[in-house]
Amino acid sequence: MTGNVFVKFWLMQKRLLKQKSFFFMMCLAPLLAAGVGRLSGEPAGIAAIAVYLPEEDAAAKEIAGRIFDDDSVLRYLPCEDEEEARACVESGEADAAWIFAQDMEERLRELAGKRRVRPVVTILERNDSVPLVLGREILTAAIYPAFSYAVYEGYVREELGMEEITEEALRAAYEQVAVEGSLFQMVYPDQVPGEAEDYSYVQAPLRGILAIWLTFCGLASALWFMRDEERGVYDRLPVTNRLYQSYMACVVFLTDASVALLLALKLSGVFTDWKRELVSCVFFVLCVTAFVNLLVLLCRRPQRLGMALLPLGVVMLALCPVFVNLQYFRAVKMLLPPWYYLQSIHNVSYLYLMAAYTAVLVVFSLLLQRLRSHFR
Amino acid sequence: MTNVSGYFFAQLKRALKLAPAQFLADFLICVCAGVLVYLLVAQGAAEAGGTKYRIGMVGDLSDSYLGFGIAALQEMDDSRFMIELVGMPEEEAEDALARGELYAVMRVPDDLMEAVVSGENDSLITYTAAEGQRGLGTMVMGEITEIASTLVTSSQSAIFAMQRVLLDRGRGEELGRATDRLNLSLINLVLSRSGFGEVEILGYADGLSMELYYFCSAFLLFLLLSGLLNCAFFVRRSTALTQFLKARGVGASCQIAGEYLAYLCLVCMGLISLSLPVALLLERGMFGIPEWEGMGAYPFWGFLRTLLPVIFMFAALQFFLFEAAEGIVNGILLQFLCGIGMGYLAGYFYPAAFFPERMQTVGGILPAGAAARYVEEGLSGHARAASLVAVFAYFTLFFALAVLARKKRIGRE
């Protein structure tokens, strides 16, 4: 029995791999992923900010170091003068400009001592958007250390009455006790720290895109099987055995696709570790197999299944956490195999849920097939 | 010419047979898109009305300083309009996160305040986001936590430095009162931190608003992926028929022209069935695009006219891909991967400006990028002949490649 299954598997595999365009198709996904992975290495940001910082101001230098050295979700365009920064926004090259005052250090001192309220920076924006609101907070965080230092300096001199204290003494005391590092750490549900995976948001959607691609490979294999069925390739098999054959065709197809998926993940830079990826991928392939075979039984004809492809693709792109993570439609999300796969990478409970969903799909398929045979 | 028109009408008949199923699929897409847009608009309205991203706080929050900090964030800070911090037991928070009711869960360690007061900062607040993998949302959240961290550590540095100065000068007895006053002063300044900058909104000099950008992208993506919707047109294509037609004097180019025109009609039908409900919604003002404010559906018809060359080009691209791939199965996979890949690089999902420069260049060169550039320029009133030429050059190229592929197939068979 096992030998027979293996022979069938191998024969189908040979038939598939003999097609040059199928082989090419399987290579395309890793090529796309590798290309995006390579291109994403350069600086990118959800908003481009033109920055003008006066060169001679010490506080400005400190802030420049903090802005330009940080690995940020914003992209910065250093400008020579205020006009250049303004022109960048007006031409659309930048979404906003941060123009720092010439006498920044002085203004910070005034602000810290509540003597005068003159803005430290002029913010020019094309429109009010979420990335730019976040940008303003990032700007605040860049200015705040210099500002808190000015507050400390003013407080010691004025409130504590130590006007004679030198700048060097103040700075030395500050640097001696300066607190560094972050107070927060992102962890995944499996307690893996967020920093363990180092890739940019440009690469992040690749796993989701590839997961939907693998689902489409499953759907394509279903069309392949249905077309063969129409041609009479399986005429010698009893109708009750067709479901098993359809599962077999899908697994053969998806075995190649899963190799391409793993390779694409590795090349794109979003790969985690072999064991986790392999287990999730196996569960995912089985889930997609059960999912598309239920669709085959529901659609019956290749044309109907073909018509369902785009709506299904749209639903998967919108509801699976590929580009955005919508909080709605959990019930619909739970019908989509890529959703389980994407969640399962860092949460083993979704693997169990995926297995349970696969079992439900298989039971439904068997029942549907029995009903069909009964009424035929 | 008679051959082409005769063959075209035969193909058109075949295409029309597929129309009812295609309308059904379009209807499904409209329903999905409509519900999504409605929810996104509803979410936006709810946020404006006070509904926020809920973050579950887990751990011992009984410390008075910590409680004061959370209360200050919730009552006085600008972030209160976006973020709602909710204290809850760990299990409840985990369940709520899994159900999608929380955006993230933050775990506060028991000795957090001791660590903050001593300046050790060795007890980290850990957070888990609802996204199963690292994505744009978690990266933005990372930025927000970094900002919060900078505000705290810089304040700590200022307070500890002041304490050091007092102790060095033998004024230790003033430590408590001076620390409290400096603390309050810093908290006050953090809460009014928006005063650092003066904001000036310039408006859109050129380019599109985000709403119009995504509106265009949705239509372009629909057109780019409509090969999947119309794949039934390419099912059961008889290989013997192409040879028979060739023998009857209908050559490869005539065959392609006839089939392409019929396919183009199918794509147009799909676009029309999607456009009608959109026009109705625009006419009734049920969703707004800043540039089209108060103009009803009128600018939308202009937008559809702008799309015409793109429809020709995308239909030619899809036709070529189905022609080049061996069989419908490979054709569908090729359509999907090319559509999604090109759409992503050309900025149909994230704005192209989010990408590194080289990626933007590659995306701009691709057919999807050329189409997006042409449509964006058309809508912003800066149409350039070069963009239209690029679209037509791609159309000609794909059409010619489809003819070549057909010739090769006829020759091989």
Burial class (CB in 10 A: 0-12, 13-18, 19+), A115: exposed
pLDDT band, residue A336 (cuts 50/70/90): very high
**What is the value of pTM for the model shown?**
0.86
Contact A12, A252 (CB under 8 A): yes
> What pLDDT is stored for residue B238 in this prediction?
67
Domains of chain B: 2-40+208-412 (no CATH), 51-169 (3.40.1710.10)
State how far residue A179 is from chain B, nearest Cα, in angstroms: 5
**Measured between CB atoms, does A196 come within 8 Å of chain B?**
no
Q: How far is A375 from chain B (nearest CA, A)?
A: 26
B16 contacts: CB under 8 Å, gap ≥ 6: none
**Any idea what DSSP says for residue B214?**
H
Higher pLDDT, B312 or A199: B312
Q: What is the pLDDT of residue A292?
A: 95
Taking a contact as any Cβ pair under 8 Å apart, which residues of chain B between 122 and 161 contact chain A? Answer: 124-161
**A114 or A345: which leads in pLDDT:** A345
Average pLDDT over residues A293-319: 88
pLDDT at residue B368, rounded to an integer: 95
Q: Computed from CA positions of residues B263, B266, B272, B278, in that sequence, does the dihedral angle turn out positive or negative?
A: negative
pLDDT at B34: 74
A165 touches chain B (CB under 8 A): yes
Q: What is the pLDDT of residue B75?
A: 67
Within 8 A of A273 by CB-CB distance, chain B residues are: none
Tell whether B333 lies on the interface with A, counting CB pairs under 8 A.
yes
Query: Is A42 within 8 Å of B356 when comparing Cβ atoms?
Result: yes
* Residue bearing the bigger pLDDT, B152 or A97: A97
The answer to whether A25 contacts chain B (CB < 8 Å) is yes
Put simply, the chain A residues between 107 and 136 with a CB less than 8 A from any chain B CB are 111-112, 117, 119-129, 134, 136
Residue B245 or A249, more confident: A249
Q: Which of A68, A143, A67 is nearest to A108 (CA)?
A: A143
Q: Do B4 and B258 meet the contact criterion of CB atoms below 8 Å apart?
A: yes
Tell if the CB–CB gap between A342 and B132 is shorter than 8 Å.
yes
Could you tell me if A71 lies within 8 Å of chain B, comparing CB atoms?
no
Partners of residue A121 in chain B, C-beta under 8 Å: 196-198
Residues 248-287, chain B, touching A (beta carbon < 8 A)? none
Q: Does residue A321 sit at the B interface (CB-CB below 8 Å)? A: yes
Q: How far apart are CA B47 and CA B82, in angstroms?
A: 7
Residues from chain B contacting residue A126 (CB–CB below 8 Å): 201-205, 207
H or E stretch covering A63: helix A58-69
Q: Domains, chain A, ranges and CATH? A: 2-40+200-375 (no CATH), 47-194 (3.40.190.10)
CA distance B77 to chain A (A): 12
- Could you read off the pLDDT tens digit of each residue along chain B, which spans 413 residues? 566 777 788 888 888 888 888 788 878 887 777 777 766 666 655 555 554 577 888 887 776 566 666 776 666 666 666 677 888 888 888 888 877 778 788 888 887 777 777 766 677 788 887 766 777 778 888 888 888 888 888 888 888 899 889 988 888 888 888 888 888 888 887 777 777 778 877 765 556 777 888 889 989 999 999 888 888 888 766 667 777 777 777 788 888 888 899 999 989 998 998 898 888 888 887 777 888 888 888 889 999 999 999 999 999 999 999 988 877 888 888 999 999 999 999 999 888 888 888 899 999 999 999 999 999 988 887 878 899 999 999 999 999 999 999 888 887 65
- Average pLDDT of the residues of chain A: 86
Please count the residue pairs, one from chain A and one from chain B, whose beta carbons lie less than 8 angstroms apart.
Answer: 378
User: Comparing C-alpha atoms, which of B335, B346, B402, B337 is closest to residue B371?
Assistant: B346
A45 and B329 within 8 Å at the Cβ level: the answer is no
* Bridge-based pairing state of the strands A47-52 and A74-78: parallel
The fraction of chain A above a pLDDT of 70, given in percent, is: 97
Q: Distance (Å, rounded) from C-alpha B363 to C-alpha A44?
A: 14
**Given pLDDT bands bounded at 50, 70 and 90, which one contains residue A290?**
very high
Task: Please name the amino acid found at residue A254.
Answer: L
